[in-house]
Amino acid sequence: MAKRKSIYVCQECGHHSPQWLGKCPGCGAWDSLVEEVPVAAPTKNQAARLTPPGLGTDRAPQAEPLSAIDSSQLARIGTGSQELDRVLGGGLVPGALILLAGDPGIGKSTLTMQLMAGVHLDGPVLYISGEESRGQIKSRANRLGADGDKIYLLTANQMDLIEDYIDRIQPKLIVLDSVQTVYDPELTSALGTVSQLRQVATRSMGWAKGRGIPTVLIGHVTKDGSVAGPRVMEHMVDAVLYFEGDRHSQYRILRAFKNRFGASHEIGLFDMTRAGLAEVPNPSAAFLAERPKNAAGSAVTATMEGNRPILLEVQALVASTVFGYPQRKTTGVDNARALMLMAVLEKRLGLALSKEDVYLNVVGGLRIGEPAADLGIALAIVSAFDNRPLPEDVLFLAEVGLTGELRRVSQLSRRLQEAAQMGFRRAVVAAGSRVDDVDIELISCNKLSQAVEKVW
Ligand code: TYD
Ligand code: MG
């Protein structure tokens, strides 16, 4: 066999180059190219495994009318967790290949062990671990009350052995924990490199698509992003779920980043307890549970997470700058957006923020990703600056423009319904907002300045 020529692959972005370069032409990263031997084209056997049922490898692909295609293959399998079902778009789909990514220690192994215990499937489910001992996994399972005869545990790192074992026990669901700890011996590159990750994804796709076994691949992401890690697999899988949250806070957020079988941006909320992850059925109540009474700098807004409105408390602290340069620190709010709002407050409302440090925080660890929260963020800052608490029963919902004008937000009625259920009586919204059938008094304003006047 002819010797395969090496290539150099950027570990940041996956860019290929025939020779080593100090700087990656793809993403501009320095010293990120690593020598690898390219992946061989799949053999006929492998190709057959890779081909979805109904598409033979030998014959030319056939087009069929949509109506002739059997959609029962998309029947959903309940995971035993409503939050997980929601994020997946209604449950697991046979043959789905799902990437579950998150920081080390966030709870990926815990979530998948609970999935294996709770999933509505008869027959064996297989948990493959390349990083923990049987004893460790067993003790976690005990803690979670995940027992019984249906969960099979395999500790292995080598893809050939893993595939043999899958052939042998024919599992109904597979969890591979984690993609960075298994390897294909065909490739000379090290564990966790881009080539290995791609190969692991390709081979998993083989059993997921070829035999319809839903598969969850666990991937660690590093904070500094120094390893491309599971990102290079994102386009190969059907769904990418991110498990997020502050490791030291109790809440964990499961977010669908991509989902071929459901809405993306759907989230599920969990509470990490001593006995594993508990569902949080009412996130608004959870996030507002510890809201301080009569505190300056606290405002409530509602964001849409996928299909669901969630009420969030934004907190601001404004304190005189000690060292010449004022600090702006945000957690859960986009930094650029916060700076823009502060500039609008300074210019349009004359708020003297240039000698003040401003800190912003979204309580509970959720990130606000939409401009509908602008007004809430701005009012939290004004309230903190004036040291004057906002009325407790008021919700803030509007986008703020650069001239200080307020703009209407989408799905206002749904957000307000959630607020009404949580006991809010009034909402400051942009003029012209229309809602149907909501038991909440609207305070309509054209401008941010008007909102500040009307709310107190
Ligand atoms: P783990 O699932 O091992 O994280 P990952 O697989 O993402 O690296 O869980 C990590 C943390 O969760 C660990 O620090 C301990 C904590 N934990 C609980 O608080 N309760 C539990 O029931 C379990 C199993 C773990
Ligand atoms: Mg783990």
User: What tens digit of pLDDT does each residue of 51-100 get?
Assistant: 555 544 455 677 888 888 777 666 899 999 999 999 999 999 999 999 99
pLDDT of residue 47: 59
Taking the C-alpha atoms of residue 99 and residue 339, their distance in angstroms, rounded to an integer, is: 34
pLDDT of residue 35: 81
Determine if ligand 1 sits within 6 Å of the CB of residue 106: yes
Determine if ligand 1 sits within 6 Å of the CB of residue 104: yes
Chain segment 257-296, per-residue pLDDT in tens:
899 988 888 899 999 999 999 999 899 999 999 899 999 9
What is the CA angle 294-296-298, rounded to 5? Answer: 90
Chain segment 172-230, per-residue pLDDT in tens:
999 999 899 999 998 888 888 888 898 999 999 999 999 999 999 999 886 654 445 67
Mean pLDDT of the chain: 89
Q: Is the pTM of this model over 0.90?
A: no
Taking the C-alpha atoms of residue 127 and residue 33, their distance in angstroms, rounded to an integer, is: 33
The answer, yes or no, to whether residue 369 has pLDDT greater than 90, is no
Determine if ligand 1 sits within 6 Å of the CB of residue 91: no
Determine if ligand 1 sits within 6 Å of the CB of residue 143: yes
Ligand 1 centroid distance, CA of 333 (Å): 27
Amino acid identity of residue 274, one-letter, is R
Determine if ligand 1 sits within 6 Å of the CB of residue 68: no
* Nearest of 307, 247, 263, 243 to residue 99 by alpha carbon: 243
**Structure-model confidence comparison of residues 112 and 227, the more confident one:** 112
Chain segment 296-320, per-residue pLDDT in tens:
999 999 999 888 999 999 999 999 9
**Structure-model confidence comparison of residues 336 and 4, the more confident one:** 336
The residue behind tokens 């404004």 is 318
Taking the C-alpha atoms of residue 345 and residue 332, their distance in angstroms, rounded to an integer, is: 20
Tell me the ligand closest to 181's alpha carbon.
2
Mutate to test the pocket of ligand 1, among 272, 273, 279 (most ligand atoms within 8 A of CB): 272
Q: pLDDT > 70: what percent of the chain?
A: 91
Q: pLDDT > 90: what percent of the chain?
A: 66
What are the b/e assignments for 263-298, b being 16+ CB within 10 Å?
A: ebebbbbbebeeebbeebebbbebbbeeeeeeebbb
Ligand 1 centroid distance, CA of 319 (Å): 37
pLDDT of residue 194: 84
What is the CA angle 259-312-365, rounded to 5? Answer: 65
pLDDT of residue 229: 65
pLDDT of residue 38: 64
